[in-house]
Each structure stands twice: as C-alpha cells, then as structure tokens.
Amino acid sequence: MEQEPNIIKTKKHIAVLISSCLLMASSVKLCMNSVGIFYSPIAEDMGIGRGDIAIQSTLSGNATGLISPFVVKSFQRFNVRLCACSGVIPIPS
C-alpha cells in the first residue's frame, strides 16, 4: 500500500514544524538558564543570598509570560512605535 504524495508532504511539514519549535525552545532555554552562572558573583557582590537573585529571575520570567498577550493586543490596537517608546520610558527611572 503506497502513501499518497500529499500525506508525505504533510508529514514533512509537521516534521519541519516540530524541529523548528524544538530549536526555538532550546535557544530560549539556553538564554534563560545561562543567567544562573551569574547568581553567585552578583550575590557575593551585593551581600545577599543566591536565592534572592534566583527568585528575581523567576519572577521576571513569570511576569514576562503573563504580560506578553497584552503587549501583542496593544501592538495590534495602537501604533507600534508608541508601544515601544512606552516600554523604554520606565528604564532610566
């Protein structure tokens, strides 16, 4: 029983999609986990525990995940430049 060409193409598309997702996830994971090598030097320099630095990183990642859908909606509703500038303004303060 021979498979149809469309089914073979669909399987290839799914394989490309899955591999792309895995590559993206691994690159994001690498960036998020590489922060951990700086916990000890920062904690020693500031005179606080490594757990305090780690919880900040965890809270920052969770806040980013929770706020991301709202940022996308604001980009769709308002001017992209206005949204980007409003995100940069709080940084110096």
The residue among 48, 17, 68 whose CA lies nearest residue 56 is 48
Distance (Å, rounded) from C-alpha 73 to C-alpha 70?
Answer: 5
pLDDT for residue 11 = 84
**Ramachandran quadrant class, 34 (left: phi over 0; alpha: psi -120 to 50; beta: rest):** alpha
- For every one of its 93 residues, what pLDDT tens digit does the chain have, with 9 covering 90 and above? 555 666 667 888 888 989 988 888 887 777 777 778 888 898 999 999 989 888 888 888 888 888 888 888 888 888 888 877 877 776 664
Residue 21: which H helix or E strand, with range?
Answer: helix 5-33
50 within 8 A of 43, measured Cβ to Cβ: yes
